[in-house]
Amino acid sequence: MKEAVVDKNVTVHIRDVEIPTPKPGQVLIRVVVSGTNPKDWKLPKWQQDNVINQGDDIAGYVAEVGEDVQKFRKGDKVAAFHEMMSPHGSYAEYAIAWEHTTFHLSEKTSFEGKSHSDPIIDLKLPVPWSPADKPTPLVVYGGATAVGAFAIKFAQLSNIHPIIAVAGKGASFVETLISKDKGDTIIDYREGDEAVRSKIKAAANVPIHHAYDAVSEKGSYLNLGAALEAPGRITVVLPGGEYQTPDGISIHRTMVGSVHTPPPEGQKLGDKEFGAAFFQFIGRGLAQGWFSGHPTEVRKGGLGGLEGALKDLEAGKASAVKYVVRIADTDGAQ
What are the tens digits of pLDDT across the range 33-72? 999 999 999 999 988 888 999 999 999 999 999 999 988 9
pLDDT of 263: 44
pLDDT of 117: 46
**3-state class (DSSP) for residue 123:** coil
**3-state class (DSSP) for residue 13:** strand
- For the domain 2-115+267-329, what is the CATH code? 3.90.180.10
pLDDT of 255: 62
Q: Looking at the DSSP assignment, which residues form a beta bridge with residue 106?
A: none
pLDDT greater at residue 305 or residue 237: 305
The continuous run of DSSP H or E covering 96 comes out as strand 94-98
Nearest-10 crossing angle of helices 306-314, 39-46: 80
Of residues 214, 185, 190, 218, the one with CA closest to residue 200: 185
The tally of CA atoms less than 13 A away on the side-chain side of residue 137 is 23
CATH 3.40.50.720 in the chain: give the residue spans: 119-253
The continuous run of DSSP H or E covering 232 comes out as strand 232-236
What are the CB-based long-range contacts (under 8 Å, 24+) for 270-277? Answer: 271/117, 272/98, 272/100, 273/100, 274/117, 274/118, 274/121, 275/81, 275/98, 275/100, 275/101, 275/114, 276/100
- In the CATH scheme, what architecture does the domain 119-253 have? 3-Layer(aba) Sandwich (3.40)
**3-state class (DSSP) for residue 61:** strand
pLDDT of 271: 58
- Cis, peptide link before residue 162, omega less than 30° from 0: yes
Beta-sheet pairing, 26-35 with 12-16? unpaired
Which of the residue ranges 223-227, 247-251, 254-258 would you say has the lowest mean pLDDT? 254-258
Of residues 81, 66, 69, the one with CA closest to residue 118: 81
Of residues 14, 56, 54, the one with CA closest to residue 35: 56
pLDDT tens digits along 87-145:
999 999 999 998 877 765 533 322 333 334 455 666 778 888 899 999 999 999 999 99
Of residues 218, 105, 101, 109, the one with CA closest to residue 166: 218
**One-letter amino acid identity for 9?**
N
CATH 3.90.180.10 in the chain: give the residue spans: 2-115+267-329
